[in-house]
Structure 1
Amino acid sequence: MKKGYIAKSSSGAKAEDAGAAFIAGKYPMFFSGSWWFGRFKSEMKDEWGTFPFPGSKLTLGSGGNLWVVPKGAKNKELAYDFIDITMKKGIQNTLGNNGGVPVAADPSAITDPKSKALIKDFATYADGDGLAFYPDWPVPGFYDVLVSETQKLITGGAGPDAYLDALKKAYDAGAPKG
């Protein structure tokens, strides 16, 4: 913040607005998830790429809850069919070449260079036990605290220590005891 890498005005940006501004070349960097990949691929005119978060061996966003069929689902067989279809090599390869992070693709079938880089970075995290949960998952209400405190950090309303203290307090209040 002190060096000006992040504008104070960015604290009020909605995800769609921030993503559209990045696509238009108004922002030099955009921090979000791989779900934007296909849109960048189809809409960006400038050169772009993805990279792991600098200095971290962990990445937020878990790949551990991809397909779930609830015990009481009325159409379990349709859900199982859908899972079987999406896990086929051809579908996984298509996902992999279009910005998805496939779990069962043939690596040699991924020909798009940007997709290869994204998948390689994901594999590096996965192989290094670096897949972490989204930061708003650990305790109920944590997302609201995270957003509010991050806005204070960006606008200068709180410093790093106060930010971390507020997150710790919210986490401790919601974490299971014992």
Structure 2
Amino acid sequence: MSTVNGLPAHVLLVHLVVVLVPLTALALVAAALWPRVARRLGVLLPALALVALVSVPLTTQAGEWLERHVTEDTLVRRHTELGDGLLPWALGLFVLAAVVWWAARRSGEEQAPGKGARWSALPVRIVVGVLSVAVAAGAVVDVYRIGDSGAKAAWHDAYQKTAQGN
């Protein structure tokens, strides 16, 4: 996808990433730390993480198209390099969201009499919680850094610091 309604698709798709990755990170941390939240979110948590994950390469691909259609400079290159690093964070969010969803679902099933040991025991929940906080923080910081570099690349010479007369 290169353009949408005459605009570069990257300019539009980037909004999906900027909203969905931090939203997924917040939902993941809440669900990982509070099992009640995980049960309430249910399959919405991994579904949200999957949409965020898919939006990253779509946005990156559209950004690569746009990069070939703008004047080359160091700010654009920096933004492109940073953008290439978001996919592993988004993948981490998705994997952990699936684990948290599966554990919450499983713990609900295991509360029935005659079932085996609970997978969501406290040590496992602590490890998943710590991993979730770390990956969520990394993803949000990376989205911020990418967005900041993109804004600098797009706007560094595109406006005047003093207002023009009326």
Length-normalised TM-score, structure 1: 0.24
Length-normalised TM-score, structure 2: 0.26
Q: Which has the higher helix share?
A: 2
Q: Which has the higher contact order (CA 8 A, sep 6+)?
A: 2
